[in-house]
Chain A
Amino acid sequence: MKPAPTLSSAFLHPAGQTLPEPLLALRKQRASALIDMPLPTRKTENWKYSSKYLKLSDDMAISLPAEGKAGTSLAIPGYKVVFINGVMIPEASEYPDLDGIVIQSFSDLDANEAQALSMQLGSALDHEQAQFARVNDARFEDGLLIRLKPGAVLDQPLFIIHNTEADACGSAYPRIYVEAGANSQMTLVEEYTSSGEASALVNTVTEFNLTDGANITSIRLNMEGENVQHIGATGVLQGRNSRFESHCVGFGGQLRRHDLQVRLEGEGAETKLNGVVVTQGKQHYDNHTSIDHVAANCTSEETYRNIAADQSHAIFNGRIHIHQDAQKSSADMNNKNLLLNNGAEIDTKPELEIYADDVKCAHGATIGQLDETSLFYLVSRGIGRREANVLLTMAFINELVSQIPVQAVRETAQLRLNDFFEQTFQEI
């Protein structure tokens, strides 16, 4: 029998040593978990549709250098922090010094702050389900810490631009940790972009720890190039009466994986997860979401839409786990999928585990094609076939795109969607 593949030992060695001592120690300690770490195969349940897209080589283990020009597709109307290959670039970043709000790169933390952070990093994620978070734990070169003191409100969205400069093979390990104190509020936009054509791994971890009454809106925009293999994980812990709202918009590539894990740990917490995925060519995109209703009286509402064209492949796996004490939970999960070509593939799997008896839980998943009757109706009014296809495809995700609360993100997504329509419906 062939031995199960493991992560190459080349991935064990981080490049930079510029982090404060407590974080270096943490990284070193976590690196031991990477020794002989099994790589997912098609027999690995949570990677069964995606393992074939994962192609790691030893030359991709090298940390990409923190140099290059920061690119963004966003016209930024708020504050911004720019990272290149996982390392913050202060001269490209602009944000004010606000009372009650700490926005700081990991490298700039003093020993006490770094010590405190080292106790928190990784706590919001289930590493069993998001295996690759372990790699990030052992490899992050830098990161962004955001601490909102109780009652602090960030008055404009904070944009974190994570650009991967892949002029040579290598990898980057973006890391973000957000601690939102009681009743604090902020909107955070993470945009992942890339330049260069070499094979690159982008392995991200973002964590949100919402204390009682905190209200966080998170927007994640994946705009990286075809050559990037992106494996990201977001972990969210929610305290009493906190509110988390997530909007993920992603365009496909060689490999795209995002694990989003939310734990509703305090009573009355609310979470809303929206996601839009668009794939074309031979692209891939895999969203795995997981919501744990741990405490009673919490609400979750999840809506994901996938559109797959050509020979692309989109995957949605949505897990809801209602724990024994989570009475009066309300959970609603909905995943709709649109196949634009016969060669495209979409796999969707809702997973519900319910251990409480007084809950409201609904889920639905559909896979379909554009409706012929609707198309006929539109063209019978003189609208061209191409435009009719665009209108109907856009209609499929309009509801979610229009809910994104930051206009610059909506506009960027729309421009990219227009390119997608241009390519997908060019022969009509």
Chain B
Amino acid sequence: MLSIKNLHASVNGEEILKGINLEVKAGEVHAIMGPNGSGKSTLSQVLAGNETFEVTAGEVTLNGDNLLDLATEERAREGVFLAFQYPVEIPGVSNLQFLRTAVNAMRKHRGEEEMNAAEFMKLAKEVSKQVDLDPAFLKRGVNEGFSGGEKKRNEIMQALLLQPKLAILDETDSGLDIDALQVVSNGVNALRADDRAILMVTHYQRLLNHIVPDYVHVLAGGKIVKSGGRELALELEERGYGWLGIKDEDTSN
């Protein structure tokens, strides 16, 4: 489904990704692990189409289509979804309006009829229950005044509503307490499907106890330095990144 070949990307002239190669098939869950500054978030942002990052070489295809040729919104409509590490607060736009606009943009793209306010409200209420968000939040501004956990649950809610082909989860576990982690993980597990690929970007392995990946990759210095099965994550937890020759001050926990 997703094929990344020799991907290089820079920000402000500084190269962050230095030749990433990755193949993800439909139905698979891949975890990308690595210390801070390894390029994990850059990879997520580049795949979603953030123009702050300049792709200098390489190729990314989604089901054979060149992803890098598409604008951010076109990638989203083709099924790319990024759950942000830091979801953006947008006061003045209600969650309901935001979510409905997004869902209808997708429906329109697929040639389906747009949902009216009442139909959408019903759907949104159901899905908000799935991620344990009080439906009252739908009336509030997008992520406005949300706790860290609520923001992350809102990201997962969006994924559930938009039903992407490729879901990229950027540090979805950061800032979550145990209960919220459980809720978010349940949401992600509900996304697992034979026709969907999930790319989980995470610093720690604790999320992987809840969402068991098929493959684990270690990203360091802008390259994937090691790939393996789920046991690689456990090994990383036990031994840190040091044994791979990677410096990381934050992996002591």
Contacts and interface: CB of A to CB of B under 8 A. Distances in A.
Given A380-B49, A380-B72, A387-B101, A374 B109 contact: no
Given A374-B88, A383-B105, A391 B93 contact: yes
- Closest A-B pairs by Cβ, 7 of them: A395-B92, A382-B76, A381-B102, A377-B88, A379-B73, A382-B105, A398-B92
B57 interface: no
Contacts of A394: 92-93
Interface string B72-83: 110011000110
Given A391-B98, A396-B92, A398-B93, 4 more contacts: A380-B84, A381-B102, A382-B76, A399-B91
State which size class the interface on A falls in.
Answer: 20 to 34
A377 B92 contact: no
B158 interface: yes
A381 B76 contact: yes
Interface string A365-388: 000000101101111111111011
A280 B72 CA distance: 28
A392 interface: yes
Centre residue among B73, B101, B106 by max chain A CB count within 10 A:
B73
B73 A384 contact: yes
B105 A384 contact: yes
Contact of A376 (B72, B93, B101, B141): B72
B101 A373 contact: no
A378 B72 CA distance: 10
B90 interface: yes
Interface in A174-196: none
A251 B158 CA distance: 36
Contacts of A391: 90, 93, 97-98, 101
Contacts of B97: 391
Contacts of B87: 377
Interface of B: 48-51, 71-73, 76-77, 81-82, 84, 87-88, 90-93, 97-98, 101-102, 105-106, 109, 141-142, 158, 162
B90 A374 contact: yes
A399 B50 CA distance: 29
A281 B184 CA distance: 48
Interface in A35-64: none
Interface string A199-223: 0000000000000000000000000
A380 B77 CA distance: 9
Given A376-B50, A391-B101, A395-B91, A381 B109 contact: no
B28 to A, nearest CB: 22
Contact of B102 (A371, A373, A382, A392): A382
A399 B90 CA distance: 12
A373 B88 contact: yes
A391 B50 CA distance: 19
A377 B77 contact: no
Nearest to B93: A395
A379 B80 CA distance: 11
Given A381-B102, A382-B109, A399 B92 contact: yes
A380 B48 contact: yes
Contacts of A373: 88
Identify whether the interface residues of A are mostly helix, strand, loop, or mixed: helix
A379 B90 CA distance: 13
Interface in A374-428: 374, 376-385, 387-388, 391-392, 394-399
Nearest to B97: A391
B93 A392 contact: yes
B82 A380 contact: yes
B26 to A, nearest CB: 20
A395 B98 CA distance: 11
14 contacts: A374-B88, A376-B50, A376-B88, A377-B142, A379-B71, A380-B48, A380-B82, A381-B98, A381-B105, A382-B73, A388-B73, A391-B97, A398-B92, A398-B93
Contacts of B91: 395, 399
Nearest to B87: A377
A305 to B, nearest CB: 10
A377 B73 contact: no
A395 B76 contact: no
B76 A379 contact: yes
A378 B87 CA distance: 11
A212 to B, nearest CB: 37
A1 B228 CA distance: 86
Nearest to B72: A379
A414 B241 CA distance: 56
A392 B90 CA distance: 8
Contacts of B82: 380
A388 B90 CA distance: 11
Contacts of B93: 391-392, 394-395, 398
B101 A380 contact: no
Centre residue among B82, B90, B91 by max chain A CB count within 10 A:
B90
Nearest to A396: B92
Nearest to B99: A381
Contacts of A382: 73, 76-77, 102, 105-106, 109, 162
A396 B141 CA distance: 12
B153 to A, nearest CB: 16
A377 B76 contact: no
Nearest to B48: A380
A373 B88 CA distance: 7
Contacts of A385: 71, 73
Interface string A343-379: 0000000000000000000000000000101101111
A328 to B, nearest CB: 31
A88 B80 CA distance: 61
A388 B77 CA distance: 15
A378 B98 contact: yes
A394 B90 CA distance: 11
B90 A377 contact: yes
Interface string A288-304: 00000000000000000
A103 to B, nearest CB: 37
A383 B73 contact: yes
